[in-house]
Amino acid sequence: MKNILEQMQKQFFDLTVQKDIPLAGLTTLRVGGRADYLLTAEKEETFCGVLRILREENVPCLILGNGSNLLVKDGGFRGAVVRLGKEFGCIDVTEDGLYAQAGALMSVLSRTALEQGFAGLEFAQGIPGTVGGGVYMNAGAYSGEMRQVVKYVRLFDGSEIREVPGEEMAFGYRHSRAMDENALILGAAFRLEKGNKGEIEAKMRDFAQRRRDKQPLEYPSAGSFFKRPEGYFAGALIEQSGLKGKTVGGAQVSEKHAGFLINKGGATAGDFLELMKLVQAEVKKNFGVHLENEVRIVGTDE
C-alpha cells in the first residue's frame, strides 16, 4: 500500500495523503474509528485516476462526501477514504439551470439557484451533504428530490467518464444507479425553471423553519436514520413503540423527532448500532414492519 501511495503522489501533484486519520470529525454523527489513509483530490483526473489505481490494486476504498449520511464503525476503515478537495465545488450557470461539481454543498447549490432566480432546488437548502452525496442518495425533502431536477450526471464508472441523462440514473427512493455500479459522481447538471425570487426565498425560509421546529438540529445526527417504510412513517412507528428518548450509551432516539438517532455526547458507533437494532426489533414486534437504515454503515467493528 505504501508503494502504491508513493507512486500516486508522484503522479498526481494535487493529491494529499494523510495516514491514520480519525473519521469521527468528518461525519455529522461524530462517531467512528480511524482510516488507514485519507486521500484528498483537488482535480477530476486525480479523483478518477486514484480510484482506478486503488481498485486495480484491490485496496478497499470509501468515497466521502460531507459525511452526513455515514456511520463509521468504531474499528475505523481499513483501506483508503477518498474525498474531493475544497477546489472541487464550483457551480456554473448554464442556459437552462446550473452545473455543480460533486464537492459543492447542496445548501450552496440551493442558494445559488435562488440568486439566479431558478426554482426547483428549494428542497435542497437544509440537506447538509454535497452534490455528489445528494445525487448518489437521490436526496430529497418536502416533496422535492434530486431525480426531479437532475438533467445529467457526470459519472466515472471505473474506466471512463460519461454524462448520463437523469432519466437513465435509475433514481428511486434514496437510490441511484451510482450505487448499483459503484460509480463516482463528478458533477451534475440541473434543469431548472425561472421563478420569482421572493417566492423561491419564501419557500426556502418555510422549509428551514419546519426543520428547526421538528428536527433536533442542535445535536449531531445523520438526519433520518431509517428509510420510510411503504405506507408508514418511521418516526411515528418508533414513537408509538414508546422509544422516544430511549438511550444506549451516548446515542439516543431524539425526543423531538423519533426518526432521528442523535449523539447526546460521547456516543460510540457501537452505541448507535445497538440502539438501531433495538429500535428495529421493537418496531418489528409491534407492527411487523422492518425498518431499513437510510444511513450507510461502513468500516469494521474492531
Ligand X SMILES: Cc1cc2nc3c(=O)[nH]c(=O)nc-3n(C[C@H](O)[C@H](O)[C@H](O)COP(=O)(O)OP(=O)(O)OC[C@H]3O[C@@H](n4cnc5c(N)ncnc54)[C@H](O)[C@@H]3O)c2cc1C
Just list the catalytic residues: 174, 224, 294
Contact stretch for ligand X (CB under 6 A) within 90-98, 157-165, 191-199, 220-228: 220-228
What is the SS3 string spanning 83-137? EECCCCCCEEEECCEEEEECCCEHHHHHHHHHHCCEECCHHHHHCCCEHHHHHHH
Which of residues 67 and 89 has its CB atom nearest to ligand X in the complex? 67
The count of residues interacting with ligand X (CB under 6 A) is: 31
Contact stretch for ligand X (CB under 6 A) within 52-60, 62-70, 92-100, 113-121: 62-70
* 279 forms part of the interface with ligand X (CB under 6 A): no
* 286 forms part of the interface with ligand X (CB under 6 A): no
- The site string for ligand X over 180-219 (x = CB under 6 A, - otherwise) reads ----xx-------------------------------x--
- The site string for ligand X over 127-156 (x = CB under 6 A, - otherwise) reads xxxx-xxx-xx-xxx---------------
* 68 forms part of the interface with ligand X (CB under 6 A): yes
Which of residues 252 and 282 has its CB atom nearest to ligand X in the complex? 252
Burial class (CB within 10 angstroms; exposed 0-12, middle 13-18, buried 19+) of 6: exposed
CA nearest to 137, candidates 98, 102, 95, 189? 102
Of 8, 44, 61, 65, the one binding ligand X (CB under 6 A) is 65
Distance of CA 93 to the CA centre of its chain: 24
* 28 forms part of the interface with ligand X (CB under 6 A): yes
Which of residues 68 and 268 has its CB atom nearest to ligand X in the complex? 68
Q: Read out DSSP for 200-256?
A: HHHHHHHHHHHHHHHS-TTS---SBSBPPPTTS-HHHHHHHTT-TT-EETTEEE-SS
141: β partners: 144
The CA distance from 52 to 105, in Å, is 25
Q: Is the Cα dihedral 103, 106, 108, 112 positive or negative?
A: positive
Neighbouring CB atoms inside 10 A of 108's CB total: 16
Of 70, 149, 253, 283, the one binding ligand X (CB under 6 A) is 70
C-alpha cell at 199: 417566492
Closest separation in Å from C-beta 210 to ligand X: 10
Residues contributing to the site for ligand X (CB under 6 A)? 28, 62-70, 102, 127-130, 132-134, 136-137, 139-141, 178, 184-185, 217, 221-223, 296
